[in-house]
Each structure stands twice: as C-alpha cells, then as structure tokens.
A and B are shown apart, each in its own frame.
Chain A
Amino acid sequence: MTVREAVLDALSSVRDPELDEPVTDLGFVSNLEVESGLVSVRLRLPTYFCAPNFAYMMVADAREALLSVPGVREARVVLDDHYASAEINGGVNGEKGFDGAFEGEAEGPDLEELRRVFHRKSFVARQEKLCRELLAQGYTPAELADLCLGGLPGPRSTAARQYLERRSDLGLDVSGTAPLIVDPDGNRVPEAAVVRHLRFARTVRVSIEGNATHCRGLLATRYGSSRVVGEKPDREETAV
C-alpha cells in the first residue's frame, strides 16, 4: 500500500457522527495531497451553517486519522466555506480542543458526550438494519429475542459487522453468549418488547438515512455533482 492509499484508507474510517457514513463516501473530502510525510486535506460540508460541533469533530477526527498512518509526520486539515471555518481550523490544527476553539461558547466535557449520544443512535439504527435482514431471512421476532451473538448466521454480513463494531464502541458485551438485541445501555430487550423496540429503532434508522440523503442533495447543489475523493452516490438514486 502506498502512503496515499493508506491515507485514503484512514480517512474512510472518519464518519459524519450524525449521518453515520464515512466522510469519503459522503463527498466531504474535496482534496488530498501527500508529499513526503506531509498530508493536506480539504473538507467541505453541505451548508455554510452545518452544526459547528459536528463539523469540528470531523476535522479533528480526520487529522487524528491522518497522523495515525505510518510515514505521516505532519497533517493539516482545512474546512472550507463554513461560517466558523476560522475557529474550527485554528482549533484543530492548533490542538486547542473544541472548548478552546469556541471559548465561552461551550460547556462541560468537550465533545465526547455529543459523540456518545450519536453513537447510541447509530447503534440502534444498525441493530434494526441487522434485525431487518434476519427477519427477511425467515427469523421470527421471538427467535431474534433469544438469539445470542454467537448464533448469528455466518459468514457475517456487512450489517452484522457494523452493528458489532458500534456495539463495541459503546463498551457493550460482544461475546458469543451476549444477547443480540439489547438497548444502548446493554440491557436485554425481553421478548414481549422486541417488536415495539424494533419499531422505534426503525424510526431512528429512517431519520439517519433520510438526513444523509438530504445532505448529499445539498452538497451536490452547493458544489455541483462532480465526484471527488471516494464519494458514493445517494441510496435514493440507486433504490428506484
């Protein structure tokens, strides 16, 4: 793998925390330059007023991902065309943290609490996606309620892998004997509650997927539909 490939690979691990998709797939990476250990990345977002906290997270996560690549000595990530570009770029590249970048405008433990809120939403949505897949394969809700992670059919699907990944991020039990359907605190959902649990989980999934659809549309309107580094098309375009 070349350094450029390794850098792209690292960038694709950075997700929009709200939309739960890689920033590369979403078309947020507009430029990437790698030159003897120095990496520069430009990011762009669907609107000038995208929430500054999520914007900051993506810029900071991107920089951290770049610096984790062997051979990368220095990384600079710049967010373009945002009302708070100056604060965010200065904050991330100067390692000031969100609190330092927006002095007096934040409160409490930086952005980790926000990240956790959205990891929980993504956990619920990914669980629903996996269960939907299993229901389509013929499992009944009662069977899902009894299923443990070790009983997942193999080989593991993308939905299963993504669910386990987020489950692990939340620090929940991912051993073979742990129940498949748990709430974001790790409590087993009893059989009688599984159907309603999955019904609300579906609303969470619809919301996240819909937001991603909307953001892709706005990004295309703002910057034209030319594909950039790693972008993947909207599911609505491919679904119908």
Chain B
Amino acid sequence: MSFQGKGNIVYEKDGEKYFVVDEHIHYWDASPENTTNKYGEGFISCFYDYHKNLSPEEYVWPYEKYRKYSEEDMMHDLFEIGYVDVAIFQSTYLTDFYDNGFNTTARNATLRDKYPDKFILNGSFEPRRGEVGLEEFERKYEKYNFTGVKLYTAEWHEDSKGWKLDDYWSLRHLEKCMELGIKNVHVHKGPTIWPLNRDAFDVADVDRTASMFPELNFIVEHVGLPRLEDFCWIGTQEPNVYGGLAVAMPFIHAKPRYFAQILGELLYWLGEDRILFASDYALWQPKWLVEMFVDFEYPGDAEFDDYDEVTPDIKRKILGLNAARLYDIEVPEELQLVTADQGTGPVASPENP
C-alpha cells in the first residue's frame, strides 16, 4: 500500500523543509451528553489538566470546546496551520466511561473516509472478550479497513482494570494481526492494571511480546513515560520497538530541560531511526510543537555536554520520515533527507554503550 498526503503546507525554516507525520491524534467526544459516570468526568478533567499544564497560554482551549471539538477545528489545527502532512488516528474506546466511547474506530473512520489522503486509521482489539472479541476484531477490520492497532492496556472492562500484552488472548489477537497483514501495534500504558499491586506502567510485557512477534512493529506511546528507563532498556534489546513522542513532545515548552533529557536519552539508547513525532491532538496542537522542535537545541550546561547535536536530518526523521517508513507513506523527493546517513543510528545498548 502506498499513501501520500496532498495539498498541505510544507514547513520550511532556515532553508530546511520538513515532512510531518503526526502519529497519534484523536477525534474524541467527552461532552457531558456522552459522559457516563464520574470516571469519565475524571478522565477528561485529567486530560484537560495535561493540556493546560503543558500548552503555551495562547493554545489553551476553554473546557467546553476541549470536551468535544469539531471536524473544522481539527482540519484547521492539523492541516491548515499545523504543518501536518499525514495524521494517524489512534482509536481509544473507554466505553465504561463514555456512552458511545471516547474516540472509537467508527467515529474516527468518518473523517478518514472523508479525507483519505490525510488520515490513516488505526483500530483496536479487546482481548478480554476472548473468542468473541477475536471475531469482532476481524469483522471490524473488514468493515473499517484500518491499518494498525492501538492498544490501551489500562482500559477498564467489567471487573478488570487492565491486561498485559502477553496474556493468552492478547497473543491470539496479535496472531490475527499477522494473518490480516496488520504490522504496526501501538501500545499505551495507563495507571491501572490487574493485579493492582504491581507497577501498571511496567513495559516488560512489551519486551516479551516484541520478541515473540519480530515481524510486528511495537510503537510504545509516550516513550514509556513514566518508565523512560525501562523503555530505553527494552529498546536496546528489541529492534522492532519504537518510541512515540505523544505526551513527551509538549515538555519542549513547559519543561524544556526535561524534554532535552528525554530526547537525549532516546537518541542515545534507541538511535534516530526509531523515534516518532506525535501531538496527541487535541491534548496539544502540532503547530507549536513542530515549530519548537525544529528550533530545538540542547541547553548549554554540563548536564547536556555529552549529547550529540540534533541535526535537521535527525529532526526530519523524527518528524515524519520514520513514521513514513513504518506506514509506507510516500514522501516527496524534496522532503527526504538532505545529507546521507551520518552514522549516528542506533548507537548503544546497556551491554555495549
């Protein structure tokens, strides 16, 4: 499959051009009408705090708009002003919190169908429904023709507060992904998981599962935050593990030193070919994230002395070329790398730094 984003503004700065793939976006509905219970209220309120805490002031929305925004808002923010060439929907169900779900495959599909050259649609599966879930998953795949899957392991379902990627029924679903030709699996950890007395953010199940399915790509959202160290470790062990920058990106404004450390660590352990830009729209907006990332430099003090410079080519890879490779997105010649590979690819592992 080949895919090409058309008719968008190319972001150009200091003579450098950038192709942008926003690998994690939502078209959610958390309006009061769709909110089922106090957990749904708590969830969107928590999202809003993330938005307010890390956005530049001029990009903060009123709460009402944040709960449910329009198609026009989205097209404007991503493509008209946000420099995005192609955006990837990561469907998130949360049907225990929202009557019609938060942003389901069905809801996101309406926009993908309307703007097929701008959006890629990722679906999801629910392993805790076992055999029934497996059949539903295949039916949904046939109906919506999604490209990859997004898995939220902390999702609540009946009495369960979460699941692990290497649970039996999850493995069965991943086998089904292989059978259907789905190759990109986005994994998102959250604060609850059974059993509740273990660390819910632990990414060890990604490690085990990535070894079992070397043909699949595992994109760990939020680069494993708050377990950046565990994520970096498994990234050195498993060549098919990638880091999605959703949630990490906005620190570039609010906590620039922390952002610089995250990026420096990721480049050191994973290398420049396995890091993917994302805004997590509408949590944050791509316009300011792209602009600030293109301008990014490490702070000048000793803490950052041994990090290598982030060149325009490295920025091009992170902003779009790495995701384009995973999703077979056609990139115009003029937006490819300017210089040849500078040999700064995967550089280190805990055994061989």
Contact = CB atoms under 8 A, between A and B. Distances in A.
Interface in A81-126: 83, 98-99, 102, 104-108, 110-111, 113-114, 117-118, 121
Given A121-B229, A204-B229, A218 B50 contact: yes
B192 A217 contact: no
B198 A114 contact: yes
B29 to A, nearest CB: 19
B116 interface: no
Given A199-B353, A210-B228, A213-B255, A47 B49 contact: yes
Interface stretch (A27-35, A49-57, A70-78): A49-57
Contact of B197 (A111, A196, A207, A240): A111
Contact of B43 (A49, A107, A210): A49
A195 B353 contact: yes
Contact of B192 (A51, A220, A222): A51
Nearest to A223: B49
A105 B194 contact: yes
Given A203-B229, A206-B265, A218-B53, A117 B199 contact: yes
A105 B196 contact: yes
Contact of A236 (B196, B258, B269): B258
A51 B255 contact: no
Interface string A12-34: 00000010000000000000000
Contact of A200 (B159, B194, B229): B229
Interface residues of A, number: 46
Q: Which secondary structure dominates where chain A touches chain B?
A: helix
Contacts of B299: 240
A240 B195 CA distance: 41
Interface in A165-208: 195-196, 199-200, 203-204, 206-207
A18 B227 CA distance: 10
B34 interface: no
Contacts of B45: 48
Contact of B195 (A50, A108, A222, A236): A108
Contacts of B54: 217
B345 to A, nearest CB: 18
A221 B49 contact: yes
B15 interface: no
Given A51-B200, A114-B197, A210 B258 contact: yes
A210 B350 contact: no
18 contacts: A48-B46, A50-B191, A51-B191, A51-B200, A53-B200, A83-B39, A83-B42, A102-B196, A105-B161, A113-B198, A117-B199, A195-B353, A199-B268, A203-B228, A213-B258, A236-B257, A236-B258, A240-B256
Interface of A: 18, 46-53, 83, 98-99, 102, 104-108, 110-111, 113-114, 117-118, 121, 195-196, 199-200, 203-204, 206-207, 209-211, 213-214, 217-218, 220-222, 236, 239-240
10 closest A-B pairs by beta carbon, nearest first, are A107-B195, A48-B42, A221-B53, A207-B228, A106-B197, A51-B191, A196-B353, A207-B229, A211-B226, A204-B229
